[in-house]
Structure 1
Amino acid sequence: MRRLFPVTDETAETAVRAPGGAAGNDGVKGAEEGLGEWSLAELAAAYAYPVPEPGGRLPWLRANMVSTLDGAAQHDGRSQPISCAADMRIFGTLRALADVVIVGAETVRQEGYRPARVRAEFAQARAAAGQGPAPAIAVVSAGLDLDYGLPLFTSPSVPTLILTGAAAAPDRIAAAEKAGARVVIAGDGVGVDPVRAVQALAELGHTRLLTEGGPRLLGQLVAAEVLDELCLTISPMLTAGDAQRIAGGPSVAVPKRFELVSLLEEEGFLFGRYRRR
């Protein structure tokens, strides 16, 4: 994996290593020449959540998405066909850094979502950060039309959360709670208010937030101006067709401008990290 654009000043030394794990004599030069596979610890340093300054933003919501060269966020309804091994390493690292992973109900159904794994490689770091053994999964659902026989509900390491509105059907809420999920009200109507959702998760102690979409949910988060960061993998593929983009829904009145924080490359895949200005 090559660094094409600096990560941050503080991670330039820790995130760049020579082959075999030893520190290189010239970290930036080594990154430009390519070092092969980064360790999980190095990726964690490169993608660490920002430490909020006094009066800074807390919680922090980042999204992790993948897109082809022609803008498709999925192929045959799933993101896996346009991903790669390096993308999955980053995917796992971002989950390991998060308190909670927010995902839309349709994505849960389409992708066959499973609970986040407890990973021994990150156990010490999570404990030191005051985090549980694995991030919780928070499913955004207005209708609570979910399959509670999925492992996401039957065998999670930490209870799965469901974000819904106050007008959700009481029998659906009861069914979710009976299945072991924790229902969190984050809206006055049937649907979920993104601002309320972020606030509700923060009140539960979840301040390092990660969303994996899908496009409809990400579009809602963008429109509500609660997205702080986008980690975007550009896949060197062309799919054509009518697949969704990474964000859907109504357009915003004024395009939102983000700044590039880092850019990595491996085998033609680009891994960008953008923060809102």
Structure 2
Amino acid sequence: MRRLLPPPTGDDGTNGSPGPGGPDGKQWSLTDLAAAYAYPDPLPAEGWLRANMVTSLDGAGHHEGRSQPLSSSADMRIFGVLRALADVIVVGAGTVRSEGYRPARRREEFAAARAAAGQGPAAAIAVVSAGLDLDFSLPLFTEPLVPTLVVTGEAAPPERLAAARAAGARVVFAGDGAGVEPARVRAELAALGHRRQLTEGGPGLLGRFVTAGALDELCLTISPRMTAGTAGRIAYDGTPLEVPRELEPVSILEEDGFLFTRYAARSLGR
């Protein structure tokens, strides 16, 4: 893996400030990657919501409904590190169904760091769903290290709310009606102590976060693959922004032709 941004050398050819990370040209350790993707310090009281997504060169956010065909071993290492750094992983119900989501697992390599940061053994999974059309018998709900959260509106179907609670899930309301308000998702999770937030989509949920101005950071893997077909892009919800929102590039890593980019919508505070 090599770092493209920040540059490892200054413009004048002298050693510049490389920022956190590992040695270029070698596989970075998990510690190196954790430093490169650290959350802001100090962490904002209202929480920090980052997204982790992958796209093909021709703009596909998935291939035949799944992100795995666009991924790589390095992408999966970063995927695991981002999960290990998070308090909560926010995901849409459709993505839970299509990707076969399971509970986040405990990573021994991160156990000491999570304990020092006051985090639990693994990130909680927060499933955003208005209708709660979910299979509550799945391991995501019955076998998590920490209880899975179900984020919904106060007018969600009562029988589905009861089923979620019976399965051991914690219900979080982030909308007054049947729907979910994206800005409230971040606020309600932060109020529970989950300030390091990570969303893995899907595209509809990410689009709503973008439209609401609730997304702080995007970690985007650009896969050196093309898919053609009709796959959608990484973010959409049917409501285009009047003015496109600009993010600032923070870092770019490269390995085996994959680009691992990081963009922030506001200052990282360090």
Q: TM-score, normalised by structure 1?
A: 0.90
Specify every segment of 5 or more residues in structure 1 that has no aligned partner in the other structure, as ranges.
18-30
Q: Secondary structure at the match of 2:84?
A: helix
> For the residues of structure 2 that align with 1:180 and 1:167, how far apart are their CA atoms?
20
Aligned counterparts, 1:66-105, within 5 A:
66-105=54-93
Q: CA deviation at 1:13?
A: 5.9
Q: Map residues 119-268 of structure 1 onto 2, 5 A cutoff.
A: 119-249=107-237, 250-268=239-257
Q: Which runs of 5+ in 2 are unaligned?
A: 9-16
- Give the total of aligned pairs: 257
Cα displacement (A) at 1:195: 1.1
1:151 deviation in Å? Answer: 1.0
Select which of 116, 122, 128 maps to 2:104: 116
Residue 24 of structure 1: aligned partner: none
User: Are the equivalent residues in 2 in contact too, given 1:214–1:246 (CA < 8 A)?
Assistant: yes
Aligned ranges 1:9-20 → 2 under 5 Å: 12=18, 14-17=20-23
Q: Is the 8 A contact 1:7 1:261 kept in 2?
A: no
- 2:259 alignment partner, one of 231, 247, 270: 270
Shift of 1:164: 0.1
Aligned partners of 1:52, 1:173: CA distance in 2, in Å?
36
Shift in Å, 1:6: 1.4
Distance 1:213 1:205 in 2: 21
Q: Which runs of 4+ in 1 moved over 2 A?
A: 11-14
| 8 Å Cα contact 2:203-2:234 kept in structure 1 | yes
Partners in 2 of 1:187 and 1:208 — Cα distance? Answer: 21
Question: CA separation in 1, counterparts of 2:65 and 2:19?
Answer: 40
Corresponding residue number in structure 2 for 1:38 = 28
Amino acid at match of 2:53: M
Letter in 2 for 1:136: A
1:28 matched residue in structure 2 = none
Q: Is the 8 A contact 2:141 2:168 kept in 1?
A: yes
* Offset at residue 149 of structure 1 (A): 1.6
- The alignment partner of 2:214 has SS state of coil
Cα drift, residue 7 of structure 1: 8.2
TM-aligned CA deviation for residue 57 of structure 1: 6.3
**More deviation, 131-140/150-159:** 150-159
1:244 Cα deviation from its structure 2 partner:
1.2
Whether the aligned pair in 1 keeps the contact of 2:60 and 2:232 (CA below 8 Å) is yes
- Tell me, yes or no, if the aligned pair for 2:49 and 2:198 is still in contact at 8 Å: yes
Task: Give the direction of change, closer, same or farther, for the CA distance of 1:7–1:117 in structure 2 (3 Å limit).
Answer: farther
Two-structure CA RMSD over aligned residues (Å):
1.5
Q: Aligned equivalents of 2:58 and 2:92: distance in 1?
A: 23
Alignment partner, residue 12 of structure 2:
none
Do 2:22 and 2:29's aligned partners in 1 also have CA atoms closer than 8 Å? Answer: no
CA distance in 2, matches of 1:199, 1:260: 25
Q: CA deviation at 1:16?
A: 2.4
Q: 1:158 and 1:42 mapped to 2: Cα distance? A: 27
Question: Contact (CA 8 Å) 2:86, 2:198: kept in 1 or not?
Answer: yes
Of all paired residues, the percent bearing the same amino acid is 67
Q: Distance in 2 between matches of 1:138 and 1:57?
A: 19
Q: Does the 8 Å CA contact 1:7/1:46 hold for their aligned counterparts?
A: no
User: Aligned equivalents of 2:103 and 2:18: distance in 1?
Assistant: 32
Specify the code of the residue in structure 2 equivalent to 1:272.
T
